Amino acid sequence: MSESSASRLNVFKTYKLYVGGKFPRSESGRVYEVSDTKGKWLANAPLSSRKDARDAVVAARKAFGGWSGATAYNRGQILYRIAEMLEGRRDQFVREVGEAEGLSKSKAGAVVDAAIDRWVWYAGWTDKIGQVVGGANPVAGPFFNLSTPEPTGVVTVVAPQDSSFLGLVSVIAPVIATGNTAVVIASEKAPLPALSLGEVLATSDLPGGVVNILSGKAAEMGPHLAAHQDVNAIDLAGAGAALAKELEIAAADNLKRVLRPQPVDDWSADPGTHRMTAFLETKTVWHPTGSLGASGSSY
Amino acid sequence: MENKTSLFEYAPAPESRSVVDIAPSYGLFIDGEFTDAADGKVFKTVSPSSEEVLAEVARAGAADVDRAVQAARRAFEKWSALPGSERAKYLFRIARIIQERSRELAVLETLDNGKPIKETRDADLPLVAAHFFYYAGWADKLDHAGYGANPRPLGVAGQVIPWNFPLLMLAWKIAPALATGNTVVLKPAETTPLSALFFADICRQAGLPKGVVNILPGYGDAGAELVSHPDVNKVAFTGSTAVGKAIARQVAGTDKKVTLELGGKGANIVFDDAPVDQAVEGIVNGIFFNQGQVCCAGSRLLVQESIHDELLDSLKRRLSTLRLGDPLDKNTDIGAINSAEQLARITALAETGEAEGAERWSPACELPSAGYWFAPTLFTNVTQAHTVARDEIFGPVLSVLTFRTPDEAVAKANNSQYGLSAGIWTEKGSRILAVAGKLRAGVVWANTFNKFDPTSPFGGYKESGFGREGGRHGLEGYLDV
């Protein structure tokens, strides 16, 4: 929190989780101290529990039908709306990102701008990914045969630890652009930009439960989410090598789709499409084309 | 509901005109400024439903075309060099402003074109905004579009559009052109220049760099000047097949890339197992949407002989309930014909139909005294040799033919110089796909008709033109690939 320069005492924000479109505290009643890179206290963040994680999965599952069933156009409009809302709160995020990552105002500004543009990039993908990775298959027979991508379901996202905001947006947006819903574990040491993002999502026409944001320890929540039978996939972006291996093993129990952590030097680089395709299923539909005979075919 | 006749009586429910402010005169939009024509010429645009003069508009000539092309050329260097993500954000802004101003634009379009507010409000404008939204997203994703890495724009696009969907055709032309990094000189039709000029104002609100979009209201002479201008790299035309052929001749021997969306004589094929009520709605939508002034209209009904009488009875009953009149009335189904010239063409072709022996039918329908109107019309006992089965009428006139077998339906559907659209009505999926596979048409609707979406490519076979607009395919016409 920046000090108020006038004599007036400023009002601190109570940072809360974002689950099912609401802003609960952790059911455990626990918080932990969040400091800036120089060790100065910034706020207390909720220390989410296993129960919070399970509640988030319930919320994400509940939202999946509506979100995946929305038109791609509608999802694109909402992702673009997030960019609009974020642009309006740019100053707040520049401050929070600067404090969280120890960046100058101009560097933090560049990070926030890149995060806003990242939403715009994925807003444009919602109604194009199917045209790029799907298509008609020329099978050798009298059949119409079409493959289309579909979202895999509820995705747990272990957000990057260092890039508390651009990295965070870069892992959430591709998951939800295609119609998945997400349970996100924010950067443990820098969770505040993520918790504030929840406030932006809540005012962007994004249905509650599509994105659920938890702060706390990936090592505590991760194993429960990786083993959760109603989670379909897990993005291990922010998990260290040992935790990533543990979670991948747990994820095998119901064959979750796993995106392993990859070294990212620069989150502002062209993100490509792999973060979307990692959480897509391909559905192929066959249908006979029949013949033109007078009585037609029998099907 | 005390008596039965009140069922289809509606109180007037006009949309307010106050949402749109039409200036008494408009200039050409060149290099970010409104300007008079070099030779000072102007023309009047009227409301086809009342013949009221809406505004006086500058009429572009050869000198103006040259000036606009030069402005577009100057703007091209910077515009094409912008990162795709920045071009995308301009297009997203335009899409959002269109959404914000869509009621105003819908009323304007209805006034200038004569089509029902129900259509401009619920079809044209949502599709216009969606088209900009869709192509905005492509601007920074061209490497993923399937044309190899870093596909390049062509340069200056000269675009000539028709009067039947003025703003929607503008969107189909301008959105992909800008997304791919081209700059644009667009000529709207002489009977419907206003929405394009309002679009110029939207470009201003969006902060679009000057010269990227230039709008030249004018007649066919300006269109011909634009198409033949030596510094135009891309020609996109939507309109009649006759003009399309003239353009094809004009660009011969040049490097200009061309896309043409031309006429049609769409066959709407109804099999005996089709749900009749649903088919009737589709037939009505196919030929009476926008008064039939639609290049992909289902203007030939091919109905299986065994259900001909039943289907025609239902169709006639349905036509008797259509409401023709004030286009601004929210209950109006059939608006005005766009111009006196078009009305004369429809009238003449319908008379030819009668003279050649087809049987003409229209529901009891009172036409307003002012403006250009034509009652919904059916021709039965039509053969493939009849003019009304061959020529594009571009009006609310449906020609009904029959068939016995699927083979015969396909043969008759394909018996046309055109190949833009077709419809298939049957409960059997395999028959849909078998028939669709044999049809020589660019768009085939099954158990629906006249559906449009920015993600879906549109365009014709044969003399309906070449190239596709919309979808990933729509990028190709504006890229050097």
How confident is the model over B222-266, as pLDDT tens digits?
999 999 999 999 999 999 999 999 999 999 999 999 999 999 999
Crossing angle (nearest 10°) for helices B194-205 and B84-100: 120
Tell me which H or E stretch contains A45.
Answer: strand A41-46
Burial class (CB in 10 A: 0-12, 13-18, 19+), A31: middle
Dihedral angle over CA of A235, A238, A244, A248, nearest 10? -10
Q: Which B residues in the span 263-322 are in contact with A, Cβ-Cβ below 8 Å?
A: none
Domain ranges of chain B: 17-262+464-478, 267-446
Mean pLDDT of B168-186: 98
What is the distance, to the nearest Å, from the Cα of residue A209 to the centroid of all Cα atoms in its chain? Answer: 11
- Cβ pair B133:A296 closer than 8 A: no
CB B353 within 8 A of CB B387: yes
pLDDT at A290: 81
Higher pLDDT, B408 or A5: B408
Does the interface ipTM go beyond 0.90?
yes
Whole-angstrom Cα distance, residue A214 to residue B437?
52
Q: Tell me which amino acid residue B320 is.
A: S
Whole-angstrom Cα distance, residue B75 to residue B352?
50
pLDDT digits (tens, 9 = 90+) for A151-197: 999 999 999 999 999 999 999 999 999 999 999 999 999 999 999 99
Q: How far is CA B363 from CA A65, B301, B342, B348, B349, in A?
A: 46, 18, 21, 19, 19
Residues of B in contact with A79 (CB under 8 A): none
Q: Which B residues in the span 412-451 are in contact with A, Cβ-Cβ below 8 Å?
A: 428-431, 433-435, 437-438
Look at residue A297 and tell me whether its pLDDT is greater than 60. no
Whole-angstrom Cα distance, residue B76 to residue B27?
23
Q: How far is CA B68 from CA B27, B183, B257, B390, in A?
A: 13, 11, 19, 39
- Cβ pair B434:A124 closer than 8 A: no
**Active-site hit among B261, B463, B469, B476:** B261
Identify the closest residue of chain A to B431 by CA–CA distance: A290
Residues of B in contact with A117 (CB under 8 A): 85, 89
- Cβ pair B429:A287 closer than 8 A: yes
- Tell me the fold of B17-262+464-478: Aldehyde Dehydrogenase; Chain A, domain 1 (3.40.605)
Q: Tell me which amino acid residue B453 is.
A: D
pLDDT at A291: 79
| Nearest-CB residue to B406 (from A120, A131, A294) | A294
Whole-angstrom Cα distance, residue A187 to residue A184?
9
**Active-site hit among B109, B119, B190, B295:** B295
By C-alpha distance, which of A241, A67, A60 is closest to A155?
Answer: A60
By C-alpha distance, which of A65, A19, A8 is closest to A215?
Answer: A19
Inform me whether the C-beta atom of residue B172 falls under 8 Å from chain A C-beta atoms.
no
Residue whose pair of structure tokens reads 């994004």 in the numeric block: A206
Whole-angstrom Cα distance, residue B430 to residue B438?
13
CB A266 within 8 A of CB A260: no
CA angle, B215 then B219 then B222, to 5°: 65
Q: In terms of DSSP H, where are the helices of B289-355?
A: 308-319, 340-355
Q: In terms of DSSP H, where are the helices of B139-291?
A: 166-179, 194-205, 220-228, 241-250, 276-288
pLDDT digits (tens, 9 = 90+) for B94-119: 999 999 999 999 999 999 999 999 99
CB A103 within 8 A of CB A111: yes
Q: Is B295 a catalytic residue?
A: yes
pLDDT digits (tens, 9 = 90+) for A103-150: 999 999 999 999 999 999 999 999 999 999 999 999 999 999 999 999
Inform me whether the C-beta atom of residue B130 falls under 8 Å from chain A C-beta atoms.
yes
Rg of the Cα atoms in chain B: 22
What is the phi/psi pair of residue B443, to 5°?
-135, 125
| Nearest-CB residue to A290 (from B138, B433, B454) | B433
Whole-angstrom Cα distance, residue B415 to residue B300?
11
| Nearest-CB residue to A292 (from B130, B137, B438) | B438
What is the distance, to the nearest Å, from the Cα of residue B187 to the centroid of all Cα atoms in its chain? Answer: 14
Mean pLDDT of chain A: 95
Mean pLDDT of B322-342: 97
Helix (H, G, I), strand (E, B) or coil at B335: coil
Chain B closest CA to A283's CA: distance in Å? 19
Q: Which domains does chain A have, with CATH numbers?
A: 31-288 (3.40.605.10)
- Cβ pair B144:A294 closer than 8 A: no
Whole-angstrom Cα distance, residue B402 to residue A222?
67
pLDDT digits (tens, 9 = 90+) for B380-425: 999 999 999 999 999 999 999 999 999 999 999 999 999 999 999 9
Chain B closest CA to A77's CA: distance in Å? 8
CB A75 within 8 A of CB A177: yes
Given CATH 3.40.309.10, say whether it is the number of domain B267-446. Answer: yes
Chain B closest CA to A68's CA: distance in Å? 18
Q: Is B365 a catalytic residue?
A: no
By C-alpha distance, which of B179, B153, B156, B152 is closest to B226?
Answer: B156
Beta strand B213-215 with B183-187 is parallel
pLDDT at B10: 84
Specify the pTM.
0.96
Mean pLDDT of chain B: 97
